[in-house]
Structure 1
């Protein structure tokens, strides 16, 4: 059942957006090792599934997850990711909203599907390794990361890897969602979700 948007909902958005971002950022730090960067679209949503599912259990109306996606997009853009991160974050947030709404904010299955879809925002973070962004992005990080890191990343990210990352996001997000649902089973029951 959809409720009116209240101040406490904004507080919930803030708290869970921060928690989710911290967990994702901590796991993404493994990307400083080039080969791990390729697998972060799987690992990040997998680990962040528990706090994300807990957040979903608190959502009772449209807009909350879109705000989270927008906040993440703005933060990632400000810290140096190219502009598509904003599009991916907002788009993933909106699609997730639709999925949660379809389950009337009461369906664990829809929450798990939402976890998979929301994880697609991560593609905006890695898209700089691919397509027309590739050369400019790698040139911009040589000073900070070193030529060896850049060459390793180039070798690990041929174009086809981007499409593999889409699958990794969806699978990692779905498994993370299922794990979150299992861990939070009692909480979901208490919230009246099935």
Structure 2
């Protein structure tokens, strides 16, 4: 599971790699659940992409406050269509891309949790598959939020090294660069075709 990641720090790289023009000013670069980050979605006319601020951790419309974001930052692909927190966003096709330079996982092979930074081997940003939604506060304000989709990684050559030995191994879904629009435009029945492991030799990991 991924509870800590870095957003893309270089604005020009963010614009060029993800083909977006707008960059929000009030988002954090070092993200934990409940922090204000950013996600990419289709524009309303579906002709281009836009980057929007949002809480890291999905806040469903029925939530009474934003504290739920501390528990909804990752959505399991196996249950995303049924879990109350995610099923509406999944059914309504509210798919997004979460731009990231890296994410962090604990390496327990030494018997202690060693915080480890994982990034693309080619140095390019990651486009992590996610879901987004909007939440209306009791005061009437609208807050957008997002979550990362995860898949089982027990057999992944790299991700199987992380988390406690007794824990299931999970990894976020990192999309190939040429599939960003396909992911956001796909019908619900076709979405699971994108939920695949990212090749281990295309990632690098090292202690922070």
Scaled by the length of structure 1, the TM-score of the pair is 0.28
Greater share of residues in strand: 2
Q: Which has the higher contact order (CA 8 A, sep 6+)?
A: 1
Greater share of residues in helix: 1
